[in-house]
């Protein structure tokens, strides 16, 4: 398979503070520092699968910014378009985990470093060597100016004949469903691949009926309309037909980052020209593997690991 294909994504990254004990956050006194963020998770997932992956971002000119930068670079992600900016602290979130396994996330990303972006910093030349631009609704939700920025970037990508992949990635703690619908509406006609969840698309469109989703996909000329449905597997509408692939059975520990891992594996499979059903199978495998490891991106698989899992190959440990 071809592996060195260029993927570019744009987005914020955060320091994630994971509690070392369960219960309400006000009673937790110690945390473990991790690195997270949907777009960075996606970039790491792609890099681990062997894709040349560039991440465009801004980080605070602070210690946490250095942690994220060094982590991304260490994972093999191209950080040539990542800059440190003063006056914008690196974003942070704190997780709360209750005794029953449920949890909440508290975001501290006011005045995010990505607000220092300007449209002029994005040029058509950035996409000369890029096969796929992947965008996420999380970046757009941070601030209204990012919505306009993404519209500009997508236009540049299309002018360069770059495939555009889009995960709505709804974060209703950051904006309202009405704001999300309005922001996404101009994008549907310009994206080639949609990677969304069944409940998520229901919120966005007001339904998740397969016939209506197929009509929506055809109306907007979306090449691959992918529905992630967790333990039920995934579906894809392409070439006027729905394809469903069953999930891999695992014992999930932490579902955070599973969607990002699915996205990365789907784009890898798409670029390597796998069949539609095989694209779903590979992506299902990656998403399943992510859930077996605790953390935002710790479970994102390497290519050999993913191949062994989906092919059910045994590993000799000793």
Strand 224-228 and strand 193-197: the pairing is parallel
Sheet holding 91-97, edge to edge: 31-36, 14-19, 91-97, 103-108
d(CA 82, CA 57) in angstroms, rounded, equals: 5
In terms of pTM, does the model score above 0.85?
yes
What pLDDT digit, counting tens, does each position of 245-297 carry? 999 999 988 888 899 999 999 999 999 999 999 999 999 999 999 999 988 89
Is residue 165 within 8 Å of 42, Cβ to Cβ?
Answer: no
Tokens matching residue 65: 């910014």
* 173-202: pLDDT as tens digits: 889 999 999 999 999 999 999 999 999 999
Domain residue spans in the chain? 6-12+38-83+119-303
**Residues that are catalytic:** 260
Yes or no: say if 311 and 281 are a contact pair by the CB < 8 Å rule.
no
The rounded distance, in Å, linking the Cα atoms of 106 and 108 is: 7
Q: Quick one: 6-12+38-83+119-303 is in which CATH superfamily?
A: Ribokinase (3.40.1190.20)
């Amino acid at each position: 398979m071809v592996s060195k294909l260029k993927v570019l994504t744009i987005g914020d990254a955060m320091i994630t503070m994971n509690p070392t004990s369960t219960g309400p956050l006000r009673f937790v006194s110690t945390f473990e520092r991790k690195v997270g963020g949907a777009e960075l998770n996606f970039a790491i997932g792609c890099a681990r699968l062997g894709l040349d992956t560039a991440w465009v971002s801004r980080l605070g000119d602070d210690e946490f910014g250095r942690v994220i930068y060094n982590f991304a670079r260490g994972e093999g992600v191209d950080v040539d378009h990542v800059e440190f900016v003063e006056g914008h602290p690196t974003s942070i979130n704190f997780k709360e985990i209750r005794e029953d396994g449920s949890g909440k996330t508290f975001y501290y990303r006011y005045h995010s470093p990505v607000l220092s972006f300007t449209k002029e910093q994005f040029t058509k030349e950035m996409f000369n060597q890029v096969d796929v631009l992947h965008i996420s609704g999380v970046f757009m939700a941070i601030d209204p100016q990012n919505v306009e920025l993404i519209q500009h970037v997508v236009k540049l990508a299309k002018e360069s004949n770059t495939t555009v992949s889009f995960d709505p990635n709804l974060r209703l703690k950051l904006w309202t469903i009405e704001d999300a619908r309005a922001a996404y509406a101009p994008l549907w006609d310009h994206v080639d691949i949609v990677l969304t969840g069944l409940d998520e698309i229901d919120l966005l469109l007001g339904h998740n009926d397969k016939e209506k989703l197929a009509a929506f996909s055809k109306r907007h000329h979306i090449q691959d309309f992918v529905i992630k449905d967790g333990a039920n597997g995934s579906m894809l509408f392409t070439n006027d037909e729905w394809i469903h692939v069953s999930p891999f059975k695992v014992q999930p520990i932490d579902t955070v980052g599973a969607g990002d891992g699915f996205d990365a594996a789907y784009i890898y499979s798409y670029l390597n020209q796998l069949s539609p059903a095989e694209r779903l199978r590979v992506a299902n495998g990656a998403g399943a593997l992510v859930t077996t490891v605790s953390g935002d991106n710790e479970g994102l698989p390497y290519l050999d690991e993913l191949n062994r899992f989906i092919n059910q190959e045994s590993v000799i440990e000793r």
